[in-house]
């Protein structure tokens, strides 16, 4: 049994955070599957703390103008565009 039981409300909450609508059937199915999967993830509890080796470096380049997509190319795949802009739903 997982230390973090998942119920339908929790699935709905996470789906809301992730901006994905779910019907009731999907919510119920995911609740069962998530309980199973999260309980499996509990095995991470006994992993020791390990300091990752610091072998990473930042990769920088000069801030120079380069060719990019044209405005028309950037808009090619948009379901809706207007006056050279993407057209989205109203914000609120």
Least CB distance to another protein at residue 1 (A) = 15
63 sits near another protein (criterion: CB under 8 A): no
Least CB distance to another protein at residue 72 (A) = 9
91 sits near another protein (criterion: CB under 8 A): yes
- Are 2 and 35 a contacting pair, CB within 8 Å? yes
Q: d(Cα 67, Cα 4) in Å, to the nearest integer?
A: 50
Least CB distance to another protein at residue 31 (A) = 11
Q: 10 Å Cβ neighbour count for 6?
A: 19
69 sits near another protein (criterion: CB under 8 A): yes
54 sits near another protein (criterion: CB under 8 A): no
84 dihedral zone (left: phi>0; alpha: psi -120 to 50; beta) = left
């Amino acid at each position: 049994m997982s230390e973090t039981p998942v119920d339908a409300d929790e699935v709905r909450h996470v789906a809301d955070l992730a901006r994905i609508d779910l019907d009731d059937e999907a919510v119920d199915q995911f609740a069962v599957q998530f309980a199973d999967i999260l309980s499996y993830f509990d095995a991470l509890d006994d992993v020791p703390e390990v300091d990752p080796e610091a072998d990473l470096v930042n990769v920088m380049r000069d801030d120079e103008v380069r060719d990019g997509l044209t405005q028309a190319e950037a808009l090619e795949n948009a379901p809706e565009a207007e006056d050279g802009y993407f057209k989205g739903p109203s914000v609120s």
